[in-house]
Amino acid sequence: MLPTRTALSCLARSCCINAAVTARGMQQLGLLFALEPALRHLYPEAEARAQAAAHYSAHSNTHPYMLPFYMGLLLNIEEQVAEGKLPSNALDTVRRTLGTTLSAVGDGFFEGGVFPCWALCCICFLLAGHTLPVILLTVLLVVALLAFRTGTFFFALRYGLAALAWLKRLGLINWTGRIKVVNAC
């Protein structure tokens, strides 16, 4: 397992990924920037590190709130590749398919359910002249989102592909439908 300091460095850098979005590679450069401390730890030799970084040279894109989970999975697999337990091409297969899947889950749950619900609640409170509940609700949402990002990162980092089963059991897609019903009301 990665040292806690290295893992926290990767997690902190994940907040900056969208600052490096390009039209061609999307989050490609930002993802490499976020994973760099772990790659430096896993591959002390410059040549091996350059080969590992080459795996992230292709297009990469996922939802910003699902990104730490995605990074945790990638780092778990990267550790296994560095130890020789998995071939290096296993990482490419997972990276190509998982990013878009997590993007769809994140778009549906966060952009289609949670954020509209928060906005509607804030508008209702503001129209009723209640400012304090809006501030408290916003702070609660920010804290919950940070906890989600942190928790999913470390869970995926620890359990790897088994974390996908846990994510499926969470049923974020099902919760999206329920939240949309609340939004409609």
Return per-residue pLDDT of the chain as tens, 185 residues: 789 999 999 999 988 887 766 666 677 778 888 899 999 999 999 898 888 888 887 777 888 889 999 999 999 999 998 888 888 787 887 887 888 888 889 888 999 899 999 999 999 999 999 999 999 999 999 999 999 999 999 999 999 999 999 998 988 888 888 888 888 88
- At residue 17, the pLDDT reads 80
Q: What angle do CA 177, 182, 183 make, to 5 degrees?
A: 90
Whole-number CA gyration radius for the chain:
18
- At residue 25, the pLDDT reads 61
- At residue 150, the pLDDT reads 96
- At residue 87, the pLDDT reads 85
- At residue 23, the pLDDT reads 65
87's CB contacts (< 8 A; 6+ apart) are: 81
**How many whole angstroms separate alpha carbon 87 and alpha carbon 80?**
9
In the beta sheet, which residues pair with residue 22? 26
Q: Which tokens in the block code for residue 123?
A: 């508008």
> What pTM was computed for the model?
0.89
